[in-house]
Amino acid sequence: MKQKKYRVIVSGGGTGGHIFPAVSIANAIKDIYPSTEFLFVGALGRMEMEKVPAAGYKIIGLPVRGFNRKNLFKNISVVKDLIKSLFLARKAIKEFNPDVAVGVGGYASGPTLKIASMMGIPTVIQEQNSYAGVTNKLLASKAEAICVAYDNMERFFPKDKIVLTGNPVRQTLTENNISKEEAFNYFNLDSKKKTILVIGGSLGARTINQSIAKGLNYFQKEDIQVIWQTGANYYDNAKKELDNSNTPNIKAMPFISRMDFAYSIADIVISRAGASSISELCLLEKAAILVPSPNVAEDHQTKNAMALVNKDAAVMVADANAQTSLVDTAIRLVSNKSKVSLLKDNISKLAFNNAARKIAQIVIECASKKV
């Protein structure tokens, strides 16, 4: 019997936390149905417009932006761009004629899934966070399925549409057999020393970077190694701080291309509490200090972090306290073998395996329902 050739729209982006799962889902669908055709829909000027083509997929951009909550008058142009985005989304859907539309979060998801459902296209929502965003809550009633990564999401969505799948992670993190010796050599670090990995998300994190910069000499004094992903915007300042200090144990870079190496040799990880980052930490069984970003809708990163803290699966440092306590907390934790072991054990219990494949199967099931 000839296999049906499915057509799938995948919408969303804005940060690596949305883009990597989106690409993972598309790859998983392609593994099951190699003839599937994809169209990604992103937001103009955001990183998906570069990362998605690099992963081998076609993408179109919408001029959609986030609302300005501080200055309402600035939203006049935002509303105009939203209306324009709805028209462009309609045009793209009409031309591509998808069997299903998947939203992974980010500005472009809203108009794309709204128009798709109005045109009778089945929609699938992937909600990564423990606290659902406004857009996904609005789209939920028309969705065929809502894939989630946390329990108790019926607070936000119709219970009969929820499927607990977990969040997809970057495949390179779980597919390789990592040689720790090779990883230590890659970063030019000593395998006998404690190692901390610092990541502020794909765009970097100001507070985390400032906190690490202030603590460079403390890490050196305790003979602790640090792999420090600063983000492109903060790298020059970080390099300047390193040049002014005698800290050969600290390796700073704007972006870590071999995250598999970095994770494999990290005794503990300092990270924001984005859903994608947390999913990686769970799957890789990493002891972590989470510093939730205060600059996200509904403070969802704090809620993500607390979901782990309440199960003794991570340590949290509030963004407001980071500059005074983050480095000290990290040094104490990495030196506490029993606490690190407890955190690793507990976070591993929260991991979901094969999330991308589970979501891919749900997407195809929904696509097959299209009349």
> What is the pLDDT tens value at each position of the chain, 371 positions in all?
445 789 999 998 777 677 888 999 999 999 999 999 999 999 998 888 999 999 999 999 999 887 666 666 777 888 898 899 999 999 999 999 999 999 998 888 999 999 999 999 999 999 988 888 888 898 999 999 999 998 889 999 999 999 999 998 876 776 667 788 999 999 999 999 999 999 976 666 889 999 999 999 999 999 999 999 998 888 999 899 888 888 889 999 998 989 999 999 999 999 999 888 899 999 999 999 999 998 877 788 999 999 999 999 999 999 999 999 999 999 999 999 999 999 999 999 998 888 999 999 999 999 998 75
Q: What's the pLDDT score for residue 371?
A: 53
Residues forming beta bridges with residue 229, ordered by sequence position = 199, 253
**Dist CA 354 CA 197 (whole Å):** 25
DSSP conformation letters of 286-333: -EEEE---SSSGGGHHHHHHHHHHTTTS-EE--GGGHHHHHHHHHHHH
- Which residue is associated with the tokens 């990541």? 199
**Dist CA 359 CA 124 (whole Å):** 9
CA distances from 324 to 160, 214, 216 (A): 46, 9, 13
| Pairing mode of beta strands 287-290, 315-316 | parallel
Q: Which residues contact 5 (CB under 8 A, 6 or more apart)?
A: 33, 35, 36, 37
Look at the chain and count its residues. Answer: 371
Q: What's the pLDDT score for residue 195?
A: 97
- Which residue is associated with the tokens 């190496």? 261
Handedness of CA 94, 95, 97, 100 (dihedral sign): negative
Q: What's the pLDDT score for residue 1?
A: 40
Q: Where are the alpha helices (DSSP H) in the chain?
A: 16-32, 48-54, 75-96, 109-118, 134-139, 171-175, 180-186, 206-214, 216-221, 235-243, 259-265, 275-283, 300-309, 322-334, 337-348, 355-367
**Dist CA 73 CA 67 (whole Å):** 10
Classify residue 274 as exposed, middle or buried by CB count within 10 Å of its CB (0-12, 13-18, 19+): buried
Q: How far is Cα of residue 143 from the mean position of the Cα atoms in its chain?
A: 22
Identify residue 128 by its one-letter amino acid code: Q
**Dist CA 85 CA 275 (whole Å):** 26
Q: Which phi and psi (to 5°) does residue 228 adopt?
A: -120, 105
Q: What's the pLDDT score for residue 152?
A: 87
pTM, two decimal places: 0.81
pLDDT digits (tens, 9 = 90+) for 27-73: 999 999 999 999 999 999 888 899 999 999 999 999 988 766 666 67
Q: What's the pLDDT score for residue 298?
A: 73
With residue 62 as reference, give the H or E element that holds it: strand 59-62
